[in-house]
Amino acid sequence: GEDVEQSLFLSVREGDSSVINCTYTDSSSTYLYWYKQEPGAGLQLLTYIFSNMDMKQDQRLTVLLNKKDKHLSLRIADTQTGDSAIYFCAEIGGGFKTIFGAGTRLFVKA
Amino acid sequence: DTGVSQDPRHKITKRGQNVTFRCDPISEHNRLYWYRQTLGQGPEFLTYFQNEAQLEKSRLLSDRFSAERPKGSFSTLEIQRTEQGDSAMYLCASSGRTSTDTQYFGPGTRLTVL
């Protein structure tokens, strides 16, 4: 079936790197996405990666994709208190249906 | 920059009442999506429009739910005979004619059914 799984919580110190992991099930997914949600707000697209790529870097964000293991990760370098939020991994499943994980709650300690 | 907007932002209603939410997508986007998000969960797909055609519906969308996009621009989501279990954040997203299908989300409508 279709499922995207993420660890629920991650706590890091300000200035450290954060790594948020995700596993997905649909091997036909063309794009995989990372979204950020702050309290009371909608989802903000952070980055995406095309399925034929292994890595994508965008400023402090690095996305790694292991298509064989269906594993996606998001690394945030030099994590700041403003990065505290919920991070969602998402894939496009059959048709145009987007499947989201339950989200990883990132806590950044000053 | 006019992103995706949703109205109202909050709605409190009594069980059994009907409610209607509106979504205005980014103007040049032809695809529009509705999601439901409950506390502690990620968004769950409800339905998808390409222009005015509703192409996909989730089994979550019971017969009390109906969505329309009559002119291929704004969309409405109506819930009839609301139940307490309908309490959630209802998110709308839109995307354009690109291969990445990057979806841009609105701020959501928070529904509370008493």
Per-10-residue mean pLDDT, chain A, length 110: 84 97 83 90 89 91 93 96 95 75 95
**Whether A42 and B91 lie within 8 Å, measured CB to CB:** yes
Residue-wise pLDDT for A62-83, tens only, equals: 999 998 999 999 999 999 999 9
**Whether A96 and B108 lie within 8 Å, measured CB to CB:** no
Alpha-carbon gap, residue A20 to B7, rounded angstroms: 33
**Whether A96 and B55 lie within 8 Å, measured CB to CB:** yes
Residue-wise pLDDT for B42-77, tens only, equals: 999 999 999 999 988 888 888 999 999 998 899 999
CB-CB contact of A11 with A65 (8 Å): no
DSSP state for residue A14 in the 8-state scheme? T
Is the peptide bond between B25 and the residue preceding it cis, with omega within 30 degrees of 0? no
Chain B CB contacts of A103 below 8 Å: 40-42
Is the peptide bond between B107 and the residue preceding it cis, with omega within 30 degrees of 0? no
* Band of residue B100 on the pLDDT scale cut at 50, 70, 90: low
Residue B8, pLDDT > 70, answer: yes
Q: From the CA of B25, how many Å to the nearest CA of chain A?
A: 14
β strands within chain A, DSSP E: 4-6, 9-13, 18-24, 31-37, 43-50, 55-58, 61-66, 71-76, 85-92, 98-100, 104-109
Alpha-carbon gap, residue B4 to A40, rounded angstroms: 16
Mean pLDDT of B68-88: 95
Say how many C-beta atoms besides its own lie within 10 A of residue A60's C-beta. Answer: 14
